[in-house]
Amino acid sequence: MRIALAAVLSLALLGCEDQNRVAEQKRVEQTRVERDAKRKAEDEAERDLMKSPALAIPELQKRLSDWLTVSEGVATIVVGSSYARVHAMPARSSWLVSCDSGGIEVAITNGASEEVHVRRLTRARLTNDDCRLLASAIGKHMVGLLGK
């Protein structure tokens, strides 16, 4: 009798564990689906934004200025967010704006250390025509910021 009771209790506990495991798997899957849907909506909004130069250029300039500031001949960039690392270098540092089907990024380097700092401004898929227009606008903004 005791063995039968122990077996029934063991099966009941295993059933609860299975139910908990299934519930947790469903919760994890739902979280993944929601995260993927959010990411997809954000990606679509970013693509739409980049298709409108009148909106895209000021937004890209803002993103660049959030990363790179210049004051009294010193360019300062912030790497990271919570525990940021800040680099200061001469405003006359070399830079490059790159654009392709994977988005737009800006690279800046201080010739003394040869360390390159890169900031991706967008990951939106862009055409060659989009790149010509947007990269040129960001390049002009860099000239305005850095004075060269």
pLDDT score for 133: 94
Query: Looking at the DSSP assignment, which residues form a beta bridge with residue 95?
Result: 108
Domain count, the chain: 2
pLDDT score for 116: 86
pLDDT score for 141: 93
Residues 87 and 142 in one domain: yes
Residues 78 and 13 in one domain: no
State the pTM of this model. 0.72
pLDDT score for 38: 85
Report the length, in residues, of the chain. 148
**Cβ–Cβ contacts within 10 Å for residue 53, how many?**
13
**Cβ–Cβ contacts within 10 Å for residue 106, how many?**
25
Residues 28 and 46 in one domain: yes
Phi, psi angle pair for 73, to nearest 5°: 80, 5
Domain boundary among 28, 50, 72: 50
Side-chain half-sphere of 8: how many Cα atoms within 13 Å? 5
Residues 110 and 98 in one domain: yes
Residues 138 and 100 in one domain: yes
Residues 34 and 60 in one domain: no
| Percent of the chain clearing pLDDT 70 (strictly above) | 83
Residues 64 and 131 in one domain: yes
Q: The domain spanning residue 112 has which CATH number?
A: 2.30.29
* pLDDT one-digit tens code per residue, 104-124: 999 998 766 678 889 999 999
Q: Residue 8 is part of which domain span?
A: 1-50
Q: Are 90 and 71 in contact (CB under 8 A)?
A: no
pLDDT score for 6: 60
Residues 116 and 59 in one domain: yes
Residues 22 and 41 in one domain: yes
Average pLDDT over residues 76-96: 83
Domain boundary among 50, 70, 86: 50
* pLDDT one-digit tens code per residue, 3-45: 665 665 565 656 666 677 777 888 888 888 888 888 888 888 8
